[in-house]
Structure 1
Amino acid sequence: MPQETTLSLPAPAKLNRLLHIVGRRADGYHELQTLFQFLDHGDTLHLRRRSDDEIRLTPPLPGLAMDDNLIVRAARALQAAGSVRLGADIHLDKRLPIGGGLGGGSSNAATALLGLDRLWSLDLELDELADLGLALGADVPVFVRGHAAWGEGIGERLTPVELDTPWFVVVHPGVTVATPAVFGASQLTRDTPPITMARALQGGASGWRNDCEPTVKALYPAVADALNWLGERAPAMLTGTGACVFATLTSDVEAQRLLADMPERWMAFAARGLNRSPLHAALGR
């Protein structure tokens, strides 16, 4: 079978369907408990192998230096780990809002790691790729491993789970949330009692919440506005530290009906929840 030289791969969004803050570490990071789930909606990376060691990414993202882009950093980390003398041309079709709490940058990094592992014929284990990803960001490993998960620590200690797979309407209310401001806010809840994964799953989605939500609503009225509007129509929650919020629905028909009523000032999309990442489905892993 001839070696692949090009790949086009999805970089799916994620939702935090539960997010508890159970403590604060001495290094300033917060201890979390969360449920990650993928969506059948996201960015796409187009990868082409180069015979030299150049990593070229197009287009540049506004306000982000190329060397700071997680895709470039992931590619260079993989080059170093595999002693690779090959490179790649990478084109990003960006659909997810930057800084929306959907994990777009982390998902891009994971897709770069798994895609380039294939193009460069490295065949690294997922554990190795997840370790590389963790050095880039706490959310990268869940995208590398490719399964809905219960996350603990700073979100990097992962246990695969099977969640319900409803339809969601995801809304970006047009503001950028500064994550450090949320985690540094005095009013943020940091002492939610830890629970077991079994208890979280047994309780079901009706009891799930995001501890960041009250703080983000107070700091960003636009997020509160979107949550209030969605919450009048379906169960609604913040994902991550936002700015995106989502409503949980039972069918695509319901989701499309809600989208049709959406105020024009917001960007929104409908998507299905998934337990297996579309990236892993595409790669056959």
Structure 2
Amino acid sequence: MKYIWPAPAKINLFLYVTGIRSDGYHYIQSLFQFLNYGDTLKIIENNTGHIELFTEKKLILKTENTIIRAAKLLKSKALYYAKNNCHALGAKIFLNKKIPMGSGLGGGSSNAATVLIVLNQLWKTKFTLEELARFSTEIGSDVPAFIMGKTSITEGIGEILYPIQRKEKWYLVVYPEIHILTKNIFSSFSLKSKAQKKPIQLLLQSPFSNDFENIVSNKFKKIKKLISMLSLYAPARMTGTGSCVFAEFDNKISAQKTFSLLPQNVKGFIAKGMNTSSLHHVFYKRNNHIFN
């Protein structure tokens, strides 16, 4: 039986830079919130030794994106730790893309996490979630949070996670159709001398903000305009390093009403925040049924 697996989007409810490593990586503190919206992946394992990725139009993708990298990384780690007959491990992966590229919603990282978790079971490579999260930083700093699957405060370069429970709110997310490369924004960020790591309780009690918002909104006036527009109805800010902007609401009706007040050419969606990733909900529900 072929199952469809979710790769949920995320938003950063806050994002602060607390330092910069000698290799250029930034130390951060962020609140990582999953949404009930995202991409989907169909993953079919085989023993051909080949990893193939197709779009929803059944066109094969040969580029080394995060999905291919994740599958190859898992295979190489399995080979290193002598798990199974690793040379023969193969898969066909079919991607249905909904999360815009360069939007700050974590699509590439989420895709990678879904591939790692599902193929780890299908290939019977038997890594723990913690092990998958540890080596997934080779793909991207957001991948560990997607693998662990809980709303969390993230620290370090994104690999240190403190799961928290918070009221599951509703979000209106608008997309300005601008593709932003995270590495470009990080490289243009100048660390403030007063930047420092804060206790988690203080982070949660203080007003949320995003250290990258001024840089991005000054560079892209359309994003600045969207933030101003949404702020007329609810506190609004940018997620990640952009480009999506979101506003938080207590219920779906309030989010829908605000969306209806925006100009018709504004693209976006409404989603509910989830304390547990939809991938984890689906994966563990099916786990006993198809993997045992």
TM-score (norm 2): 0.89
What is the aligned partner in structure 1 of residue 158 from structure 2?
155
Instruction: Look up the equivalent residue of 1:153 and give its one-letter code.
Output: G
Q: In structure 2, the residue corresponding to 1:32 is in which secondary structure? A: strand
Question: Quick check: 137-146 or 188-197, which moved more?
Answer: 188-197
How far the C-alpha of 1:100 sits from its partner, in A, is: 0.4
Q: Is the 8 A contact 2:53 2:94 kept in 1?
A: yes
Deviation (angstroms), 1:190? 6.5
Asked if 1:18 is matched to 2:21, the reply is: no
Q: 1:143 offset after TM fit, Å?
A: 0.4
State how far apart, in whole Å, the 2-side matches of 1:192 and 1:245 are: 24
Name the residue aligned to 2:238. Answer: 238
2:40 counterpart of 1:37: no
CA distance in 2, matches of 1:69, 1:179: 15
Deviation of 1:11 after TM superposition, in Å, equals 0.2
Contact 1:238 1:245 in 2 (8 A): yes
Check 1:190–1:76 CA distance in 2 against 1; reply closer, same or farther (3 A cut). farther
CA positional deviation for 1:197: 1.0
Tell me the distance in 1 between the aligned counterparts of 2:225 and 2:191. Answer: 19
Q: Residues 273 and 117 from structure 1, CA distance in 2 versus in 1: closer, same or farther, beyond 3 angstroms?
A: same
CA distance in 1 between partners of 2:37 and 2:265 (Å): 21
8 A contact 1:23–1:191 mirrored in 2: no
Q: What is the TM-score when the length of structure 1 is the normalising length?
A: 0.91
Superposed CA deviations along residues 14-46 of structure 1, whole A, max 9, x for unmatched, are 111111111222222221111101000000001
Q: What CA deviation, in whole Å up to 9, does each residue of 1:138-177 have, x standing for no partner? A: 0000001111111111111111111221100001112122
Distance, in Å, in 2 between the alignment partners of 1:32 and 1:186 is 12
Map of 1:181-200 to 2, 5 A cutoff?
181-185=184-188, 189=192, 191-200=194-203
Q: CA distance change for structure 1 residues 60 and 27 in 2, over 3 Å: closer, same or farther?
A: farther
Most deviating of 137-146 and 255-264: 255-264
Match of 1:57 in 2: 53
Pairing 1:262–2:262 present = yes
Q: How does 1:1-285 map to 2 (within 5 A)?
A: 6-59=2-55, 66-83=62-79, 84=86, 85-185=88-188, 189=192, 191-201=194-204, 203=205, 207-284=207-284
SS of the residue aligned with 1:68?
Answer: coil
The farther-off stretch of 82-91 and 30-39 is 82-91
| Amino acid across the alignment from 2:216 | V
- Identity of counterpart residues, as a percentage? 38
* Unaligned stretches of 5+ residues in structure 1: none
Instruction: Report the alpha carbon displacement of residue 6 of structure 1 after superposing the two structures with TM.
Output: 3.1
The question of whether the paired residues in 2 share the 8 Å contact of 1:6 and 1:49 is answered with no
Q: Report the AA paired with residue 94 of structure 2.
A: H
- Contact in 1 for aligned 2:180/2:242 (Cα 8 Å): yes
Q: Measure the CA separation in 2 of the matches of 1:9 and 1:159.
A: 25
Give the whole-Å Cα distance in 2 for the aligned partners of 1:281 and 1:24.
35
Decide whether aligned partners of structure 1 residues 224 and 212 sit closer, same or farther in structure 2, where only a CA change above 3 A counts. same
Between the aligned partners of 2:136 and 2:193, the Cα distance in structure 1 is 26
Tell me, which stretches of 5 or more residues in structure 2 are unaligned?
Answer: 80-85, 288-292
Inter-partner Cα distance in structure 2 for 1:107 and 1:72? 13
For 2:19, give the aligned amino acid: G
Matched AA of 1:72: I
Which amino acid in 1 is paired with 2:278? P
CA contact (8 A) 1:43 1:96 kept: yes
Q: Give the superposed CA RMSD.
A: 2.0
Q: Which range is displaced more, 148-157 or 189-198?
A: 189-198
Contact preservation (8 Å) 1:188, 1:211 = no
Amino acid at match of 1:81: K
Kept in 2: contact 1:20–1:211 (CA 8 A): yes
Q: Partners of 1:276 and 1:92 in 2: how far apart? A: 22
